[in-house]
């Protein structure tokens, strides 16, 4: 059982986090990370004491940074994720990193992609996680963190969250071609932005296609929330730098691979094209031949449709007719 005295001990420490001195003042990275994790706990996206490096967490860090930090510090997510290990209460560490089998994390990994590759998960000390699992103590901790480190931007943060505004909302609307984002350009300013946008693309494309393969009509989700439909780029991101919804299409994994290798494509009328350069048993119920000239299942709303320009590029550069 966690007592009021235990909570007060943690609050006392959280008010005095070890933060690097910089020309702009003390680094704000650790409190932003803690607030971001708390936000994900409140949203039900963190449900146990295993904190994974995910696009959702990095996006929340980026959003909260923009809402809370008003100094020229750079929003480096990987920095507090590593250096939080130095924080202790009564000599006991409160933040730990568990590396994947065969890896070690002995230094600050500056790439969020690399960190996600080598880290299994991070976790809090059992006592701190117990406090964060309780809505009352969690709210007290979050309030203390905001009031201690971000008193001048506290109200801006609260109002933006109440209105659902911020980095995540703006980026999602931009990638979805929503009317309010029609004249906006959301720049990729860092590897972390790239990581977040890639993660959003993988979620948004299946969403607008109702988690359904646009070629076969197969819809498959697990009861624990895993989606078995892929978000496929029409023009590879490495070539286009385009991760908006119109450069995506929802496909089951085998057709995703076939599309990427030019065995299938889509014509200007949204009909499926099947390459003549394949050998298969056409009578088989899962043959590609049966898809030829079938209309794809389009998402609801023309602004989500695959771009005709991108489809033409795929036919001319990838498809093996």
pLDDT digits (tens, 9 = 90+) for 281-291: 566 667 777 88
Name the residue ranges covered by the structural domains of the chain: 4-162, 180-317
Surface-to-core class of residue 206, CB atoms within 10 Å of its CB (0-12 exposed, 13-18 middle, 19+ buried): buried
* Tens-digit pLDDT profile for residues 121-142: 999 999 999 999 999 999 999 9
Within 8 A by CB and 6+ apart from 17, the residues are 30, 31, 87
Does pLDDT of 248 surpass 60?
yes
**b/e sequence 77-100, b meaning 16+ C-beta within 10 Å:** bbbbbbbbeebebeeeebbebeee
Surface-to-core class of residue 29, CB atoms within 10 Å of its CB (0-12 exposed, 13-18 middle, 19+ buried): buried
For residue 86, name the pLDDT band (cuts at 50, 70, 90): very high
Per-residue pLDDT at 223: 61
Does pLDDT of 113 surpass 80?
yes
CA angle 167, 170, 176 (to 5 degrees): 135
Please state the rounded mean pLDDT for residues 54-61.
Answer: 96
Per-residue pLDDT at 35: 98
Per-residue pLDDT at 184: 63
> Which of the listed ranges 113-117, 185-189, 289-293 does the model predict with the highest average pLDDT?
113-117
Per-residue pLDDT at 287: 72
Per-residue pLDDT at 158: 95
**Between 187 and 29, residue with greater pLDDT:** 29
Q: What is the DSSP string of 271-321?
A: BEEE-SS----TTSTT-SGGGTTPBP-PPSSGGGSPPHHHHHHHHHHT---
Closest CA to 258 of 226, 281, 230: 230
* Tens-digit pLDDT profile for residues 205-232: 999 999 999 999 888 766 665 668 999 9
Please give the model's pTM, rounded to 2 decimal places.
Answer: 0.88
Please state the rounded mean pLDDT for residues 69-79.
Answer: 94
């Amino acid at each position: 059982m966690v007592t009021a005295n235990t909570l007060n001990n943690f609050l006392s420490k959280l008010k005095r986090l070890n933060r690097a001195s910089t020309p702009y003042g003390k680094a704000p990275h650790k409190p932003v990370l803690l607030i971001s994790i708390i936000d994900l706990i409140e949203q039900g996206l963190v449900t146990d004491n295993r904190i994974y490096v995910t696009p959702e967490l990095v996006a929340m860090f980026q959003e909260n940074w923009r809402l809370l930090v008003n100094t020229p510090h750079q929003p480096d997510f990987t920095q507090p994720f590593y250096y939080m290990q130095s924080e202790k209460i009564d000599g006991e560490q409160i933040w730990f990193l568990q590396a994947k089998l065969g890896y070690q994390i002995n230094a600050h990994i500056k790439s969020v992609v690399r960190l996600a590759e080598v880290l299994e998960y991070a976790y809090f000390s059992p006592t701190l996680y117990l406090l964060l699992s309780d809505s009352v103590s969690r709210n007290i901790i979050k309030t203390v963190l905001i009031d201690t480190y971000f008193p001048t931007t506290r109200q801006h943060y609260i109002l933006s969250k109440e209105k659902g505004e911020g980095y995540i909302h703006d980026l999602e609307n931009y990638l979805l071609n929503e009317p309010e984002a029609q004249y906006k350009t959301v720049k990729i300013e860092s590897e972390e932005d790239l990581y977040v946008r890639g993660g959003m693309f993988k979620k948004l494309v299946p969403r607008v296609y109702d988690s359904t393969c646009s070629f076969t009509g197969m819809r498959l989700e697990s009861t624990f929330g895993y989606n078995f439909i892929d978000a496929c780029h029409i023009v590879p991101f490495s070539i286009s730098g385009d991760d908006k919804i119109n450069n995506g299409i929802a496909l089951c994994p085998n057709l995703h691979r076939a599309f990427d290798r030019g065995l299938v494509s889509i014509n200007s009328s949204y009909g499926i094209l099947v390459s003549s350069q394949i050998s298969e048993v056409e009578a088989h119920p899962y043959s590609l031949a049966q898809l030829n000239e079938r209309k794809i299942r389009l998402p609801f709303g023309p602004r989500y449709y695959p771009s005709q320009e991108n489809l033409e590029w795929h036919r001319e550069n990838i498809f093996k007719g």
